[in-house]
Structure 1
Amino acid sequence: MRPEVFKMIDRVVSIDPGLETIHCQGLVPHESSIFDGHFPGHPIMPGVLLIEAMAQTTGWLVLARNRFDKMPFLATVKEAKLRTFVLPGQNLDLYSHIQHEGSGFVVAHTKALLDGKPICNAELVFRVLPWPEGKMKDVVLKVAGHVEFPVADFTDA
């Protein structure tokens, strides 16, 4: 996990064959510039970055469902609940389950667990659109390799 550059997922653990659920992991770094101000002497992972980690987890699932032909953009965060603090060095298990897809939108239930206990959850809504001009898709495919995403299983290439 490199939260200062919004790389929140370290590894895609599994994607179910029906492309309904995904499990990812992210290790909160021991050192990061985000802890300089949050909070000095008492580092705590910002809640907004926990939501971002859940969003990125869902994003990988949406990419798989669309065979990397379209890109998900986070549109809405609903019913977000943050239950406890997350500290440097803790490993997060992140899950997402697609509840609905249609009309260019995806709705997913997401959660983050720490040692098997829920620490946060939210309903996230994504807009699914064509890739923007440029090399964004290439960059995402490169990141997929770093997080052990099985790209060959979900692309036509």
Structure 2
Amino acid sequence: MRLEYFQLVDRIETMDAAAGTIVCRATVPTESTVFEGHFPGHPLMPGVLLLECMAQTGGHLILARNDYEKMAFLAQADRAKFRSFIVPGDSLDVHSRLTHEGSGYAVCEARILKAGKAVAEAEIRYRVVPFPSPELRDKMLEFVRSVGHTGIA
């Protein structure tokens, strides 16, 4: 994870774009300016960043399902639950499963596991649109290759 750059997925462990499933790995950094304020003497990964991590995981899946021509923008999060504290150094498995796709939108059910136990979950809705600029597409493709996307033209 690179919290300051909002790059919250370290690598793709498994992805079956046709089946609409993905598992990503994310390791919370041991040090980050985020932890200076959240919370001094008791650093915790902010829930909003856990939600973003789940959203990015589903976004990787949606990107692959759209042949890397469209990207997913977070539109809504429902039923978010945070069940346990996440601390610096924790390794997380982030699962996402596509439940709906069409009319420029997609919905995924996502959850985060730590040591095999569920620590967070949410339903994430996305707006799926063509890349708004060639520069964004180039940067996005460079990043997704680095985390394990394959088959990119």
TM-score of the superposed pair, with normalisation by structure 2: 0.97
Once residues 145 and 18 of structure 1 are traced to their aligned partners in structure 2, the CA distance between those partners, rounded to angstroms, is 19
Superposed, which structure 2 residues align to 1:116-131 within 5 Å?
A: 116-131=116-131
Aligned to 1:29: 29
Deviations, residues 72-94 of structure 1 (Å, cap 9, x unaligned): 10000001011110000000000
Q: How does 1:1-157 map to 2 (within 5 A)?
A: 1-16=1-16, 18-150=18-150, 152=151, 155=152, 157=153
Native 8 Å contact 1:21 1:96 kept in 2: yes
5+ unaligned residues in a row in structure 1: which ranges?
A: none
Asked if structure 2 preserves the Cα contact closer than 8 Å seen for 1:110 and 1:124, the reply is: yes
- In angstroms, what is the RMSD of aligned CA positions? 1.0
CA deviations over 1:102-124 (Å, ceiling 9, x no partner): 11100110000000000000000
The TM-score, its normalising length taken from structure 1, stands at: 0.94
Contact 1:19 1:65 in 2 (8 A): no
Distance 2:145 2:70 in 1: 18
How many Å separate the matches in 1 of 2:20 and 2:145? 21
In structure 2, what residue type is equivalent to 1:120?
A
* Change in 2 beyond 3 A, CA 1:74/1:53: same
Moved runs in structure 1, 4+ residues, more than 3 A? none
Q: CA deviation at 1:16?
A: 1.7
